[in-house]
Structure 1
Amino acid sequence: MLRAWQDVVGKWQIGPAGPDGEPSEGRRYFDRARSALVAGRLDEALEEFERAATVREDPHDQVGIGDVHLARGRWRLAAGCYRRALAADAANQLARLGWSQLLVAEGRAAEAIPELERMVADRPDDPVLRYYLASTWCSVAEQCRSQTAEETLVITSAHQLATCERAARRILELDVDDDELVRGALRLRAEVAAGRRWGWAPEGVALSLTVLVISLGLTTVVAGGALDSVGLVIAGVLTGAILLGLVVLRFRRQAWQLRAEAIARSIVKPGI
């Protein structure tokens, strides 16, 4: 699913430019179609884009028709239109952006990132391209996380944690003029930071075993000292260190792990 209506129509800010002279019949159809699409009048937009496509061969008409289908969730039809536009002009930015958002809508946002990163690298000052990349990174973070029965997104794996951290960092780096995206990235960064904190599970058992291990090690060391046995002292130190390490490995968890274990039964949609 797309994050916002802006992800369908925002790209039309970057083209195509209007004609120098009197617009052709096809261009007049196209201009009316684009205005209708941006305003959300999808039936009118589809009709005018199709009229334009019957009197001229222009990839932007196919992008417009694809956008109408994308907005209505007709992904297969949208894919066909974007493919035709790209076949006519592989460098067409609107077609490339349309295809990227089709991937997002299909739950494949991560696949759209490399192409969008290349587009932003070529035109780093373009706010529209930066917006699309940031929005897609937001979708990557949403799609990678697991979902509970209450439709809450939660981090349940180290891969999800790393992906969310990367997404939050990249969105903030892009410095987009979108308060919702920025707030979401800040919340995501805070969630990652909280998830990396360490804790014990179960805390009571871990604490008891830690005290027991330390006591055992100290007792052995003291006994070795009393018996003037260097070997016993070394054995006490090594045994205590090894047992303490095992306690840490067994019971120490990061916060995201503790939460994932606690809500495991409520997960209805595992993340990526």
Structure 2
Amino acid sequence: MTDVKKIREILAGMIADIEKLSESKRDSPEFKTWLDKGYRRIEKIYGFDSAEYRSYNSIDFYLQLGRISTPEFFEKKEREHMKKCMLQAKLFFEGLIEELDLLPKANFTEEPSEKVSKIFVSHSSDDKKIVSEIVHLLSLIGVQDSSIFCTSLDGYGIPLGDNWLETLKSEISGEVIVLFVLSENYFQSNVSLCEMGASWVLSKKHVPILIPPVQFNDIAGVIPLTQGLKIGDKHKWTQLKTQLETLFNLSPKAPQIWETRRDEILERIETLLVP
């Protein structure tokens, strides 16, 4: 998007919405819609891999307090935290407006976003049940079955009689985003490690999904973790949803519908993680 006047109007609109949300809570439909809209618009204007997108993504709207003494205490802290974050967001969008006339057109994406045509879910076959639930999440977001490649699930993998390696190379070359489902099983599987090496070279985008007890610091030297998430992180799944909606040109799922069904799937995954 290269129309500076139009971009200025969009950014000013995000700021105007902040004023309307001054008393909103983080779980309100109005706030969630505004937050998702921000992700989509920043990505369309500046691109998924831009410093602007990373800066917006770094605003931590979701306060983590751990154990709290009373609901009143939590509500007070949440209100203070939201006020601080909304001010941070307001200053962020104001800064983007100030910089508009200083940036060359090359800083903006010519298309709404770089598109992808397929998602490859790289995983260990021992994690098949968990991966099946991940595919349910992708379907809930709106990704078509034909755009999901997952070797251990019937209908999503390699047809009988086909050459495994050649099919893999064909499926993950080019316009593909790879979800690495990283578990202890994954790192003990030669097949999974083979998939990782091939997909890292052949595909464009990669998102690590960590299965406990694997942690980010366990694999810091294995794969860049800029856009990684832990499998039970609801808010990171919402961010991935927003990215996939842009990459696949999907109509956004209503926040209320998405969150209810997302939570149901994540609860099923949590039960699968219990030894």
TM-score (norm 2): 0.25
More strand by share: 2
Higher relative contact order (CA 8 A, sep 6+): 2
